[in-house]
A and B are shown apart, each in its own frame.
Chain A
Amino acid sequence: MKVAVFGRTLYAGVMAALLAECGHKVYWCDIFQQDSPEAPDFQDEAVNRLLQQQHAQGFLHYCSLKELGLQMDVYLFSLNPAEEPLLIELLQQLQQRPIIHPKLMINASTLGLQGTARLKQLLPEDDWVYLPDMSQEGNALASITQAEQLTVGCMNPQVQSKVQEFLRPLFPRKQQYLFMPVLDAEFTKLSISGMLATRISYINDLAVVAEKLGIDIEHVRQGMAADSRIGASYMYPGAGFGGENFSHDVLTLANTVSTTGVKSQLLAQVWEINEQQKELLFRKLWNYYQGDLKGKTITIWGAAFKENTSRVHHSPIHAMLKALWAQGLTVKLHDPQALPEIQALYGERADLILCQDQYEAVKDSHALCLLTAWKHYWSPDYKTLLKSMQHPLILDGRNIYDPQFVKAQGFAYMGVGR
């Protein structure tokens, strides 16, 4: 089939690559008005490689909207929630085209509840389906190809068989399709993010208690992860989760719950615990210095919401900067990739020093706060730290260090829940 793919998400990349690989003719259509349409560079090398391969073999084409032919069989939309206006604009342009309806329209963007219905209003004659974005970063291809079941929001039997034919090379068996109404599928997608967020906030909540009881949460975490019913994923205590899409899902779900009038506090609590967690290191610092912080210099390693990305959406860095600045501290910040985003957000200011070198950032510092678990931070040169810092205090927001070892090097150490 001829497939048009819209959007720059990881899921768009994975689907474009996989669909091309199994013989579909895929047209990745640029709607961001780039100079020369091409695939974005993903953190996931396997995805990039497969995309290049398919492009070279002629199964994947990059084109602009103008160049896109009218003979597409399937349109797949995978945009970020913030890009919804752009998506609406795109559909309005598609409206103008002399396309023979109905076409199979697959919405794979997480636009909250009724998101797909909003899109359908613009192209009502087409067959609309919702395909939740289930890609996992770091494991993107396998997370799709090895999925046991695929949730699809679609209840029309004729459209269901279209979907099955379209995805047959990837999901050959009938039992692999879990069809349900679009709204139910949308709610499923949000509920998965909610569950994952709940696991993180749960372990963070336990970490606070563990700390008061003199228990190392890392032991508890390992013990829990060993239980096959629980597992290890999304169970790391730390300075809070971030990220645009994930945070957006959790917020959307929490708001959805609160506006139904159902008395449910869980998700609001999950969110609130995470917000608290983002400034956890600040509170530890405050306690360490007994609230006497004015004029001190603090180093932060890591601004990105997680390692291997330059993105800072909902990252704990923002809560930390706000809190530190409000008390009159100067922040020296290092991040291998995110500094330009931070610079763009906060501009030049005397109490923010962006450092290209991680050791330059600790010079004359009263504390080192680790916020993002970049690999380069895992085994620092403790001697240099000890020499450069004004006071040897390490606040480990991701529990990546061994407390005993760090203390033996002559540092005061505080982690999350230990």
Chain B
Amino acid sequence: MSSSAAVHTRDSLLLQLQTLKNQFEQRHLTDLFAQDAQRFEHFSVRLKSLVFDYSKQRIDAEVLAQLIRFAEAHDLSGWINTLFSTDPINYTEQRAAMHWALRLPEQDSTHPELAQQVQAQLQRMYQLVEKIHAGQCRGATGEVIQDVVNIGVGGSDLGPLMATQALSDFKHPSAKPLSVHFVSTMDGSQLSDLLHKLRPETTLFIISSKSFGTIDTLSNAQTVRLWLEKALGKQARVLQHHFVGVSTKPDKMTAWGIAPENQFLLWDWVGGRYSLWSCIGLPIALIIGVEGFKAFLAGAYAVDQHFQTAPFAQNIPVLMGLLGIWNNNFLDIQTHAVLPYDGRLKYFASYLQQLEMESNGKSIQRSGEAVELDTCPIVWGEVGPNAQHAFYQLLHQGTQAVSCDFIAPVKRYNANQFTYAESAEALVEQHHLALSNCLAQSRLLAFGNQALDQAELISLPAYKQYAGNQPSSTFLIQELNPYSLGMLIALYEHKVFVQSVIWNINPFDQWGVEKGKEIANQLLPILNGQQQDVSALDASTQGLLQILLGKSDG
């Protein structure tokens, strides 16, 4: 297809979809379900231990077919091939985006060299993990490391934090009690709360920074370095036995004082928000162990294969992406809520905020022109049962249209893990309570009044009524474990990619984030008193600086 012909096809498909949208604006989910008794069978996909039910989305077979044609017109297949290649798909930074390579099997035949490069670093990480679990990783005084603090921000923080929380039931046993902590904010809030609880002799710090230049991370690292040196003396072996670095920049790690044997490498072709599969995932491996981490990678690899091979109509990331496009660009639903019915996924929404909004929060196409369609919606969310007591009111009776993803494990508390084994029976009941709430909420959102007792409805005042027609998808996973979490994350990663193809934007850069850092560097000398002249700044910033410098009491 020539490019002008392709544009023509895309435009005509866009028109057809807009026509369909006009019909669908008036159609209620209740009617869609009434018309098709087999709607669940028709609009759900199974992948291994996971079921993706999108029957409560406001679509029918025709909309779906049209969306898939729309994706084909954007050459989605071609783009998927490009993603799974070494081409510099991240064109603004001239880099490939090969997070998929991080989960290649050890003996991969398609990219043997890549797989080997990745494995070499992972194996080194596994050795460290095993040493720590064996109680044989030691600080400067020879005492055993019992606390590991991950210092990182953004992708070096959110991913590992989310996954360690999600997999806390899979804690690997260790010879000595082992705790993993996370420190990210540049203002030192978490450090000030943490350091006084830790012993320098038994604490290991992971400095996790892709560029090893992130000021948030380096300022936290500097504080803990001083804290350690105060207790243990200012000697090279303090750095050697208490710091591990994960970065693409070995020279910068060396300059900072990280011993070569404690340096773990990743590569420019891994985006920060896609990096938890690499040695950035060290905190995850510390919680779930080497075998657990391998299962985590295997889950993501299974989704990579699914994404590349399944026909679009059965391809979960493609469907997730296209349903998002339909809701956002056609049904004008501008926010998307993620609602896990499992307390362990409490950081999943924050994680997705970075993954989706940092990736697709763009407005310039690959062509350099402004985008034609709205891009990434606002992504938000919270653990479902807690959110029921907070913002669900707005979902049910507010004026905003919101699409939702519900996520729930089928089984919980079934593995006799020591952390919950004693109360397993009562906890299983609680899980059933959560599941029933999950189903009830998606029902009420979809069907509104129709989900209520019809006899009661007649006497119900308007303020007790529900409009419904809020679309949602539901993910049921057999069990939340390293493998299924790996799958879930990879599904969302590829969903983001699918949408970026439709919007024709680069999901792998983040220039909007870079600029703020630069401006901060201009203001720091003023706050430190090294620079007096503020005349170049706007009046608001000048006024605020006066207060911060104590020249005005506000």
Which residues of chain A have a CB within 8 Å of any CB of chain B?
A: 282-287, 290-291, 322-323, 326-327
A326 and B142 in contact, given A290-B237, A291-B237, A291-B241 (Cβ under 8 angstroms): no
Q: Does B136 contact A (CB under 8 A)?
A: yes
A291 and B142 in contact, given A322-B136, A326-B136 (Cβ under 8 angstroms): yes
Q: Does B206 contact A (CB under 8 A)?
A: no
| Nearest opposing residue in chain B for A290, CB measure | B237
> In the complex, A218 Cα to B240 Cα: how many Å?
35
> Measured between C-beta atoms, what is the minimum distance from A365 to chain B in Å?
19
Report whether B131 and A287 are in contact in the complex, using a CB–CB cutoff of 8 Å: no
Interface positions, chain B 230-257, Cβ under 8 Å from A, are 237, 240-241
Report whether A323 and B241 are in contact in the complex, using a CB–CB cutoff of 8 Å: no
Contact mask for chain B residues 111-146; partner A; CB cutoff 8 A; 1 contact, 0 none: 000000000000000000001001010101111000
**Residues in chain B near residue A323, CB distance under 8 A:** 136
> Measured between C-beta atoms, what is the minimum distance from A128 to chain B in Å?
32
| Nearest opposing residue in chain B for A292, CB measure | B237
> In the complex, A203 Cα to B373 Cα: how many Å?
75
> Measured between C-beta atoms, what is the minimum distance from B229 to chain A in Å?
16
> Measured between C-beta atoms, what is the minimum distance from A77 to chain B in Å?
34
Report whether B134 and A287 are in contact in the complex, using a CB–CB cutoff of 8 Å: no
Residue of B131, B134, B136, B138 near A291 (CB, 8 A) is: B138
Residue of B134, B138, B240 near A286 (CB, 8 A) is: B138
Contact mask for chain B residues 390-421; partner A; CB cutoff 8 A; 1 contact, 0 none: 00000000000000000000000000000000
Identify 17 new A-B residue pairs, CB closer than 8 A, beyond the known A283-B143, A287-B141, A326-B134.
A282-B142, A283-B138, A283-B141, A284-B142, A285-B142, A286-B141, A291-B138, A291-B140, A291-B142, A291-B240, A291-B241, A322-B134, A322-B136, A323-B136, A326-B131, A326-B136, A327-B136
Interface positions, chain B 409-444, Cβ under 8 Å from A, are none
**Residues in chain A near residue B237, CB distance under 8 A:** 290-291
> Measured between C-beta atoms, what is the minimum distance from A61 to chain B in Å?
49
| Nearest opposing residue in chain A for B138, CB measure | A286
- Give 18 pairs: A residue, B residue, CB < 8 Å, sorted on A: A282-B142, A283-B138, A283-B141, A283-B142, A283-B143, A285-B142, A287-B141, A287-B142, A290-B237, A291-B138, A291-B140, A291-B142, A291-B237, A291-B240, A322-B134, A323-B136, A326-B134, A327-B136
> Measured between C-beta atoms, what is the minimum distance from A275 to chain B in Å?
9
> In the complex, A302 Cα to B386 Cα: how many Å?
60
**Residues in chain A near residue B143, CB distance under 8 A:** 283
Report whether B142 and A286 are in contact in the complex, using a CB–CB cutoff of 8 Å: yes
> In the complex, A291 Cα to B138 Cα: how many Å?
9
| Nearest opposing residue in chain B for A324, CB measure | B136
> Chain A binding site: helix, strand, loop or mixed by DSSP?
helix
Across the A-B interface, give the 10 residue pairs with the lowest CB-CB distance, nearest first: A283-B142, A286-B142, A326-B136, A290-B237, A291-B237, A291-B241, A287-B142, A323-B136, A287-B141, A286-B138
**Residues in chain B near residue A322, CB distance under 8 A:** 134, 136
> In the complex, A287 Cα to B138 Cα: how many Å?
11
> In the complex, A134 Cα to B44 Cα: how many Å?
72
| Nearest opposing residue in chain B for A283, CB measure | B142
| Nearest opposing residue in chain B for A322, CB measure | B136
Interface positions, chain B 121-175, Cβ under 8 Å from A, are 131, 134, 136, 138, 140-143
> In the complex, A282 Cα to B240 Cα: how many Å?
18
**Residues in chain A near residue B241, CB distance under 8 A:** 291
**Residues in chain A near residue B136, CB distance under 8 A:** 322-323, 326-327
> In the complex, A284 Cα to B138 Cα: how many Å?
13
**Residues in chain B near residue A287, CB distance under 8 A:** 141-142
> Measured between C-beta atoms, what is the minimum distance from A291 to chain B in Å?
5
**Residues in chain A near residue B138, CB distance under 8 A:** 283, 286, 291
Which of B136, B140, B143, B240 has the most A CB atoms < 10 Å from its CB? Answer: B136
Interface positions, chain B 210-242, Cβ under 8 Å from A, are 237, 240-241
| Nearest opposing residue in chain A for B176, CB measure | A275
> In the complex, A322 Cα to B134 Cα: how many Å?
9
> In the complex, A327 Cα to B237 Cα: how many Å?
15
**Residues in chain B near residue A327, CB distance under 8 A:** 136
> In the complex, A269 Cα to B143 Cα: how many Å?
16
> In the complex, A283 Cα to B139 Cα: how many Å?
10
> Measured between C-beta atoms, what is the minimum distance from A271 to chain B in Å?
13
> Measured between C-beta atoms, what is the minimum distance from A331 to chain B in Å?
15
> In the complex, A290 Cα to B142 Cα: how many Å?
9
**Residues in chain B near residue A282, CB distance under 8 A:** 142
| Nearest opposing residue in chain A for B236, CB measure | A290
> Measured between C-beta atoms, what is the minimum distance from A265 to chain B in Å?
14
> In the complex, A285 Cα to B142 Cα: how many Å?
9
| Nearest opposing residue in chain A for B175, CB measure | A322
> In the complex, A290 Cα to B240 Cα: how many Å?
10
| Nearest opposing residue in chain B for A286, CB measure | B142
**Residues in chain B near residue A286, CB distance under 8 A:** 138, 141-142
**Residues in chain B near residue A290, CB distance under 8 A:** 237
**Residues in chain B near residue A326, CB distance under 8 A:** 131, 134, 136
**Residues in chain B near residue A291, CB distance under 8 A:** 138, 140, 142, 237, 240-241
| Nearest opposing residue in chain B for A282, CB measure | B142
> In the complex, A284 Cα to B142 Cα: how many Å?
8
> Measured between C-beta atoms, what is the minimum distance from A14 to chain B in Å?
38
| Nearest opposing residue in chain A for B240, CB measure | A291
> In the complex, A291 Cα to B143 Cα: how many Å?
11
> In the complex, A290 Cα to B143 Cα: how many Å?
13
> Measured between C-beta atoms, what is the minimum distance from A254 to chain B in Å?
15
> In the complex, A322 Cα to B135 Cα: how many Å?
10
> In the complex, A323 Cα to B140 Cα: how many Å?
15
> Measured between C-beta atoms, what is the minimum distance from B433 to chain A in Å?
28
**Residues in chain A near residue B240, CB distance under 8 A:** 291
| Nearest opposing residue in chain B for A275, CB measure | B176
Which of A282, A284, A287, A326 has the most B CB atoms < 10 Å from its CB? Answer: A326
> In the complex, A265 Cα to B327 Cα: how many Å?
58
| Nearest opposing residue in chain A for B140, CB measure | A291
> In the complex, A287 Cα to B232 Cα: how many Å?
12
> Measured between C-beta atoms, what is the minimum distance from B176 to chain A in Å?
9
> In the complex, A284 Cα to B141 Cα: how many Å?
8
> Measured between C-beta atoms, what is the minimum distance from B35 to chain A in Å?
60
> Measured between C-beta atoms, what is the minimum distance from B314 to chain A in Å?
49
> Measured between C-beta atoms, what is the minimum distance from B350 to chain A in Å?
36
> In the complex, A323 Cα to B136 Cα: how many Å?
6
**Residues in chain A near residue B140, CB distance under 8 A:** 291
> Measured between C-beta atoms, what is the minimum distance from A184 to chain B in Å?
29
> Measured between C-beta atoms, what is the minimum distance from A260 to chain B in Å?
16
> Measured between C-beta atoms, what is the minimum distance from B352 to chain A in Å?
40
> Measured between C-beta atoms, what is the minimum distance from B134 to chain A in Å?
7
**Residues in chain A near residue B134, CB distance under 8 A:** 322, 326
> Measured between C-beta atoms, what is the minimum distance from A299 to chain B in Å?
19
**Residues in chain B near residue A284, CB distance under 8 A:** 142
> In the complex, A284 Cα to B241 Cα: how many Å?
16
> In the complex, A388 Cα to B339 Cα: how many Å?
70
> Measured between C-beta atoms, what is the minimum distance from A88 to chain B in Å?
27
| Nearest opposing residue in chain A for B235, CB measure | A290
> Measured between C-beta atoms, what is the minimum distance from B259 to chain A in Å?
10
> In the complex, A290 Cα to B134 Cα: how many Å?
21
| Nearest opposing residue in chain A for B130, CB measure | A326
> In the complex, A183 Cα to B136 Cα: how many Å?
40
> In the complex, A357 Cα to B103 Cα: how many Å?
53
> In the complex, A323 Cα to B131 Cα: how many Å?
10
> In the complex, A181 Cα to B245 Cα: how many Å?
61
> In the complex, A323 Cα to B145 Cα: how many Å?
13
> In the complex, A43 Cα to B131 Cα: how many Å?
40
> Measured between C-beta atoms, what is the minimum distance from A40 to chain B in Å?
35
| Nearest opposing residue in chain B for A323, CB measure | B136
> Measured between C-beta atoms, what is the minimum distance from A154 to chain B in Å?
36
> In the complex, A322 Cα to B240 Cα: how many Å?
21
**Residues in chain B near residue A283, CB distance under 8 A:** 138, 141-143
> Measured between C-beta atoms, what is the minimum distance from A345 to chain B in Å?
17
> In the complex, A282 Cα to B142 Cα: how many Å?
8
> In the complex, A323 Cα to B141 Cα: how many Å?
14
> Measured between C-beta atoms, what is the minimum distance from B147 to chain A in Å?
16
> Measured between C-beta atoms, what is the minimum distance from B241 to chain A in Å?
6
> Measured between C-beta atoms, what is the minimum distance from B144 to chain A in Å?
8
